[in-house]
Amino acid sequence: MLAPIYFLWNATRGNRLTFWRSPYVRWRVETYSGISAESLTAVKIVQFAWHSRWELLRYLFWTDAVQREARRRS
């Protein structure tokens, strides 16, 4: 259950308290939703996260599974 928090902690490195400024988060939201990264604001990112919360949680648990498999193989 800590895997999503761990991933978000790493993904927002350098912008943890202002995650909407993170280039990685902006790029991921733009790639997934099609919303231009230049037009993203904190409100838009939070709205996107709320509307897509189940898909985002599924993605975060998938990243945990991939990381576990990579650790197992190395």
Tell me how far apart the alpha carbons of residues 67 and 43 are, in angstroms, rounded to a whole number: 30
The pLDDT tens digits of the residues spanning 25-71 come to 899 899 989 989 999 999 999 999 899 999 988 988 898 899 899 99
Tell me how far apart the alpha carbons of residues 11 and 37 are, in angstroms, rounded to a whole number: 16
The pLDDT value recorded for residue 18 is 87
Sign of CA dihedral 46, 53, 21, 8: positive
Kindly report the pTM of this predicted structure.
0.70
Nearest to 41 by CA among 58, 56, 61, 19: 19
Tell me how far apart the alpha carbons of residues 14 and 61 are, in angstroms, rounded to a whole number: 23
Cβ neighbours of residue 11 closer than 8 Å, sequence gap 6 or more: 22, 24, 25, 28
